[in-house]
Amino acid sequence: MKKLEHDNHFKKLQNMYIEKFTEGEKERKFITEKKELVNIISPGRVNIIGEHTDYNLGLSITAAINKYIFITGYKNGSDSIEVYSEYLGDSGKFLLKDITFDKSKHWINYIKGVLKEYVENGYKISGFNMVIDSNLPIGAGISSSASLEVGVAKFIEELFDLRVSKKRIVEMCNSAENNFVGVNCGFMDQLSVTYGKKDYVIFINFKDLSHEYIPFNIKGELILIINSREERNLAHTEYNERRKECDEAVRLISGIIKERDINSLSDISRELLSEVKDKLPDKIFKRARHVVTENERVLLAKECLLDGDVKKLGIILLDSHESLKNDYEVSTDRLDYLVRELGKINGVHGARLMGAGFGGSVISIVEKGIANEIIDIIGRGFLKKFNDTPDFIECLPSDGTGRVLFMD
């Protein structure tokens, strides 16, 4: 059980649950006195370094962060699921025996996808009511989708007293997003949200989903996320096209180098890639080069974090952005502007686009004492150039998804 950290959110959600889902004094008394609601807190995630490496079976360093989705709910004694999102001001209702894709309410498909995984894998669940709130921005590149998926999975586990391993939760939530929602994401987001640990980042090897914790050994610094407010929907961007291009790179390279088993771009060294460069289409070569060099940057960043070398880490972040911009071609004018302008401010230790790209956010490591100054400088410049105001999110590593006991 997780210690209650956000009692005001759960008090609000409890009252909202009573208002929307209870009828009569007896049921209200059950909720308010016995406090039988299942309360789940599920963090977002940041990817420090290692972008587009997860589905290429490479390396990354990520962290769950102290911005969350909050879930409260209980069984309703039927076969129906009823959900209300306070954050979106929207609701949905469907039957467990009829879980189909909803074209009009995209957000609810993440919930449906997880439920379908549990049903199809033989877990015994029934209907429930659920209220959701969040201080985790949607579309900002900090994985609100995985936060919701893993939060719903943990909610189901607690509500129906199931015993599901963390690894299995990661696998089912990833399958939900790939096979139901239609985004061919790797395991990074779900793993980070599930395995997060306060004051630590997570070094992940996606070949076997192994991970190790590394202290966030950068005293006096925090993670500053800047949301460009350039919305993107991964199911409708070139994200899936990048995955196909990486698969094509593996197919072509393995056909050239037949004496070696090459199953992913992470099986390829920089030297080997240079050998086959002239035999690859330029675009395919650039996609592969990003993945190969990004894995190298992850290993360098791990050393920096262990040594507390924030200046060198910043250089690595900037190198990553250039690779994402030029080789992987997932940056935008807004993201490039943010990285460039952040680099001009003393006390900012590097920045890069974070997440899939095509919009979303930039991650930077900054000195805590000048965060407000950075926000003012970047905010004014961004408004002048794009006639829009970015969102700023200050965060630190957090524990992963878990249950919270609601207590007065």
Instruction: Give ∠ CA 356-360-361 in degrees, rounded to 5.
Output: 100
> What are 162's two structure tokens?
């199931």
Following DSSP, what letter does each residue of 138-183 receive, concatenated?
A: TTSSS-HHHHHHHHHHHHHHHHTT----HHHHHHHHHHIIIIII--
Active-site option among 189, 267, 327, 399: 189
Question: Rounded to 5 degrees, what are φ and ψ at 269?
Answer: -90, 165
Closest CA to 69 of 122, 30, 114, 126: 114
Q: How far is Cα 189 from Cα 74, in angstroms, rounded to an integer?
A: 26
User: Are the C-beta atoms of residues 44 and 67 closer than 8 Å to each other?
Assistant: yes
Q: How far is Cα 14 from Cα 36, in angstroms, rounded to an integer?
A: 10
Map residue 389 onto helix, strand or coil: coil
What's the N-to-C CA distance of the chain in angstroms? 16
Q: How far is Cα 112 from Cα 130, in angstroms, rounded to an integer?
A: 13
User: Are the C-beta atoms of residues 408 and 11 closer than 8 Å to each other?
Assistant: no
**Residue 362 bridge partners (DSSP):** 226, 353
User: Are the C-beta atoms of residues 85 and 110 closer than 8 Å to each other?
Assistant: no
Residue type for 19, please? E
> What are 318's two structure tokens?
């900037």
Cα distances (angstroms) measured from residue 173 to each of 211, 244, 281: 18, 22, 35
79 is catalytic: no
Q: Which positions ≥6 away from 23 have C-beta within 8 Å?
A: none
Q: How many residues does the chain have?
A: 408
Catalytically annotated residues = 189
